[in-house]
Amino acid sequence: MNVRKLTILQIRSSDRAISSLARVFETDLPRYRTALPIGFTEEVDCDEDTILFLHSAFAPLEMEEVRELLPLTEEGMIPVVTIDEKGQILMQAFGNGESQRLSLETGFAHYFSRSRNQLWKKGETSGHTQKILRILAPIDRTFLVYQVVQEVAACHEGYYSCFFRERIPGGTWKRLPIPRNFLPEKN
């Protein structure tokens, strides 16, 4: 049985500042939730492989601007969190050395698709580009944050942000007030 790894972001709820990023196996998620402070909320991305846990007690990480390539994990990747100019979290993806280099050189967000095993420039086919304003990283350099100007929508489902729903206890969903800027074509 192949168990997925999820990306978990702890976010301070008052200003949506990033407190931590971790990669956990999906089977460890229930145990992870029990260690969180009472009263957290949980937002899930469109692919259900990145989860934001929000709480007022989470202290934000100190971030600094970077202009160099960061070391990769043992899988040859680095997590990338993308935020807009106001700090709203738009998406989470992965980068490799080449995607980092292209992002720095072109000023547009590039990622590495693990499922397609290829580089991709966000918006190359849709026109929904991400113009990079700043590239940030925590002091330990374990992940990147691209602060961007997002054109139209970050989510392939048409929402401005991939985090357009909250998981309610019991496994149901509550739609968040994230604009849906287009309806994707069905193939």
Give all domains of the chain, ordered by start, each with its CATH number.
5-170 (3.10.20.810)
The whole-number average pLDDT for the span 146-153 is 97
Number of neighbouring beta carbons within 10 Å of residue 75: 11
Give the DSSP H or E segment for 34: helix 29-34
Asked whether the predicted pLDDT for residue 187 surpasses 80, the reply is no
Q: What is the pLDDT of residues 9-53, one digit of tens each?
A: 999 999 999 999 999 999 999 999 999 999 999 999 999 999 999
Q: What is the pLDDT of residues 108-134, one digit of tens each?
A: 999 999 888 899 999 998 899 999 999
SS3 90: strand
Q: What is the pLDDT of residues 72-106, one digit of tens each?
A: 987 889 999 999 999 999 999 999 999 999 999 99
Shortest CA distance to 92 belongs to which of 145, 14, 170, 30? 145
Asked whether the predicted pLDDT for residue 135 surpasses 80, the reply is yes
Given this model, what pLDDT does residue 111 score?
A: 97
1 — pLDDT class (breaks 50, 70, 90): low
